[in-house]
Structure 1
């Protein structure tokens, strides 16, 4: 079967006609000059030598061509390639179809350009824990930096985190990175020392322990919600840096600019695991050599 496609410009949608090759062989005497009727389709056909066939709907006079509708006829092979490539498109001018596709591509590119910026990659952290005894469901949740020092190899798991953002920060931690051990929910909160991440995030087992204060009945073994990391004590700071001192510096830097201007300890205070920029970490570390404010 030979497939011939007709485009009626500025008129009704085009129609496709299929003509049996053998029929053309029977009408070969007309090739090159004459005009004959396809009575089966009621379509007059003009056959020109070495040129594609041009079909017009019977009884429909061609309309005036307007600007932008001129189109060079190509070989039947090219015509079929276009038909296959644009089979889902309406029979518009090729130029119009291309322009339409270009517009769509532009929208996609612009939408990609509007994607949110890449989140910063942190390599320092501040992790809070309670150094003073507090019973919760009959269990003492106390765990200070002195407790970490007493563990074998001065290493322990940082379990019990039940905030999604804090959990995600722990999942971003890499082995060898450093974190401040921050004493919270106590008489004088502040930074006590430095510890190192020695094992990257893995499943927090306490979420499945019904006897543990951090048990989560909604978390399933095949799809656990919570993670933890292992930390190792590295050293105590030369002096304890209290929250009150950090807050004074933060307010100064917020007013006049400085390293602690956007410190998460004040912008995301409720998080028990917080990211620090390298600049923030180094600045806080330098405070141990200074006199208290």
Structure 2
């Protein structure tokens, strides 16, 4: 199992929207490095849901990847701001995933708190100038984030690697 962090502005799509919807396609990613991370995801991977462009920004919940290797439908929709005229259904340039709601954190973990606990090498989201909307999180850091939220390392025993 791998761990990831994905950002969304709460005005665009929030953890509450995901909780209500149950599942969603994570569309509209138009950065090649973020797209490549989406291509690496596997069903069952856990993803930290990060609210960006809000006060305060931070990790607000947890979701799980349920389906991978999906052509992002917005690339073919000429009325979408994510339309890509160079993409075709036969040769799509943008892939994405479907995620499902796992948990809404009772206390969000703010960017300020993340900066106090981790270095930019440990957690890409805190790196100055980072604009990626999708990024990997190491197992060690994922466990520490979960422990921060749940005040225990036993809540998610299946997340521990042996």
TM-score of the pair, normalised by structure 1: 0.49
SS in 2 for 1:169: helix
Aligned to 2:27: 159
Cα distance in 1 between the residues matched to 2:146 and 2:69: 25
4+ residue runs over 3 A deviation:
none
- Contact 1:238 / 1:289 at 8 angstroms: preserved in 2? no
Report the equivalent of 2:159: none
The 5 Å alignment of 1:26-175 reads 123-132=2-11, 142-151=12-21, 154-175=22-43
Q: Distance in 2 between matches of 1:234 and 1:275?
A: 18
Counterpart of 1:195 in structure 2 is 63
- Higher strand share goes to which structure? 2
Paired position in structure 2 for 1:278:
139
Displacement of 1:289 after TM fit?
3.9
TM-score by length of 2: 0.86
Unaligned runs of at least 5 residues, structure 1: 1-121, 133-141, 255-259
Aligned Cα RMSD in Å? 1.6
C-alpha contact 1:145 1:192 (8 A) present in aligned 2: yes
Say which of 121, 130, 137 aligns to 1:269: 130
SS at match of 2:81: coil
Q: Which has the higher contact order (CA 8 A, sep 6+)?
A: 2
SS at match of 1:210: coil
Aligned partners of 2:76, 2:121: CA distance in 1, in Å?
40
Mapped partners of 1:192, 1:201: distance in 2: 26
Q: How far off its partner does 1:220 sit?
A: 2.2
Q: What is the match of residue 53 of structure 1? A: none
Cα deviation for residue 261 of structure 1 reads 4.6
Q: What is the number of residues matched between the two proteins?
A: 150
